[in-house]
Amino acid sequence: MEMEAPSGSERRWSRVASSLPVRNVQALAGCAEELTAETLERYIRLDIDNDEVLPDQSSEVPVIDLSRLFNSNSVEDEAARLRFASEEWGFFQLVNHGIPEDIIANIRSDIQKFFQLPLEVKNNYAQLPGDLQGYGQSFVVSENQKLDWADMFGTLAQPPQARDIRYWPTEPPTFRKSIEEFSSELMKVAQSIVIFIAKTLNIDPELMGDKCVSQFLRMNYYPPCTSMPEKVLGFSPHSDGSFLTLLLQVNSVEGLQLRRKNAWIPVKPHPKALLVNVGDFLEIMSNGKYKSIEHRVTINANQERLSVSAFHLPSLDGIISPVMGNKEDKILYKTTGVEEYAKLYMSNKLDGKRALDHAKLS
């Protein structure tokens, strides 16, 4: 498959929406006298316990070995596992992904060092009005909505010509190099995965050429909440408005949960794996065969959690249509403009799979 050359439109990905400025959560969490009932009210969720949490099912999250997909002796079996993971779970742990260990170690180290910097230094890279890049939060569209117990730093990392270097920190000194190397390696992995996904769907891999041309990196910092961790969320329940998302756990603290059969399944971090999940655009393209699954992040009482998510995105000027393997199947999704869907998704607070419902045919 030949990847389509990105157009100048890809730099617009960071400007499809914006987020209101809110208080820094890391600073709030570190100031005990500020943790009053009034301050915490915007973070308290009364519906967290509505659905059961099933930790015993954590070990059932599928594991896919990328090296076996490239091996002619094992590709058939591993592709069947990939198909099962995408259909039944929408998530899988990816091992033997080929990213050098030093590149993984460097990005982990630099993300931790960045979030340890003084607030005034991090604020040098604060989000600007009308831009999703920078240090702050996402999906804050109202002064009244519940807030997530997290801070984030986002940057449009791919393609290179879409980058806004103002948002590329110079502290720690190696951070820019770490982001560049990690981002480039992730792009290779994502493009490999979508080729195999195309084959499991029995569609022409060339149709994937414009589906992963941009990459938005979001580095996530979830401070501990000592007072009531069971009542706050690091990230509200949502599916991803991407084609494919790759996540690297920066430290070993758990928190990510995925929704399966009306229950929440905690995901145990695998130190050598990337976590991969199906995005909304892939669900549309597969006509619902591959599922973009709701997930959320819970908070630890005593330990911070850090991760980095890489959202791989279609051409903003493109469209996403269901690709039908069988002409007799019912079409479940509309043909959707990528930019139209992105603006809908990013301009609203996170609310499960509500955005994807707009793409479904009634």
Q: What is the structure's pLDDT at 63?
A: 97
Q: What is the structure's pLDDT at 350?
A: 67
Task: Tell me the one-letter amino acid at 284.
Answer: I
Bridge partners of 263? 52, 260
Beta strands in the chain (DSSP E): 52-53, 63-65, 91-95, 134-136, 151-158, 214-222, 233-238, 244-249, 256-260, 263-266, 274-278, 295-298, 305-313, 319-320, 336-337
Q: What is the DSSP string of 207-247?
A: GGTTTSSEEEEEEEEE---SS-GGG-EEEEEE--SSSEEEE
Listed residue (74, 257, 12, 41) closest to 149, CA to CA? 41
Q: What is the structure's pLDDT at 349?
A: 67
Task: Tell me the one-letter amino acid at 357.
Answer: D
Helix %, strand %, coil % of the chain (to 5): 35, 20, 45
The residues near 23 (Cβ < 8 Å, ≥ 6 apart) are none
Using one digit for the tens of pLDDT, what is the confidence trace for 25-40?
999 999 877 888 788 8
What residues of the chain score a pLDDT lower than 50?
2-7
Q: What angle do CA 145, 340, 296 make, to 5 degrees?
A: 40
Quick check: 219 and 109 in contact, CB under 8 A? no
Does an H or E element contain 100, and which?
A: none
* DSSP 3-state of 126: strand
The residues near 287 (Cβ < 8 Å, ≥ 6 apart) are 322, 323, 324, 329, 331, 332, 333
Based on C-alpha coordinates, what's the Rg of the chain? 20
Exposure string over 139-169, b if 16+ CB within 10 A, otherwise e: bbbeeebbbbbbbbbbbbbbbeebbeeebeb
